[in-house]
Chains A and B, each alone.
Chain A
């Protein structure tokens, strides 16, 4: 069965303290893996699509990486405005639907 598991559920960091969020997935043929950021009460905001193992993408303090089993969202020297829930989703070759993880709630304290 295709599934996505994100860990940890919540992560509290001090401003400037780097860390990583994990997205483990099981899918029969990966079309793409997606990262989104969601602020409370708002719609998810698209960050990246990763298509194949070894691929990396960066945006400001965030960098996403992909292996055959998992993706990491690395956050370097985070700021309070990086606080949000980060969602991961995968799309299989055989299915148009996205399979969503439950998200990691990231809190950056000043």
Chain B
């Protein structure tokens, strides 16, 4: 089944403890992206990647890191999480620009 897989689905952590949210797609998509979704603010892009080893900042990149060492994987790293990073996170992938995205099921992160 064609899909984007995120792990974990739920995560509660403490301020300052480094964490990684994994994202993997099995569709050979070139383009991958991370979003966060907050009530009243909608979907906001954190980082995106046009291809392997090519990443760029989205609208809200502060406090996040990404890497794209393989085409299928695009992990999101929070080096020192803070409570304002409590949110619902989505990974998405696409064949390329001008095409619809396939989204993962989401990771609900709580930072206390």
Interface residues of A (CB under 8 A from B): 31-32, 34, 36, 41-49, 51, 87, 91, 96-98, 100-103
Contacts and interface: CB of A to CB of B under 8 A. Distances in A.
Interface in B50-90: 50, 58-59, 88, 90
Nearest to B101: A46
Given A41-B106, A42-B106, A102-B42, A97 B101 contact: no
Given A51-B98, A100-B43, A102-B42, A44 B50 contact: no
Q: Chain B interface mostly helix, strand, loop or mixed?
A: strand
Contacts of B31: 96
A32 B99 CA distance: 8
Interface of B: 4, 31, 42-43, 45, 48, 50, 58-59, 88, 90, 92, 97-106, 108
A44 B48 contact: no
Q: Chain A interface mostly helix, strand, loop or mixed?
A: strand
A45 B2 CA distance: 13
A36 B99 CA distance: 12
A91 B105 contact: no
Given A87-B43, A97-B45, A101-B42, A43 B98 contact: no
B106 A49 contact: no
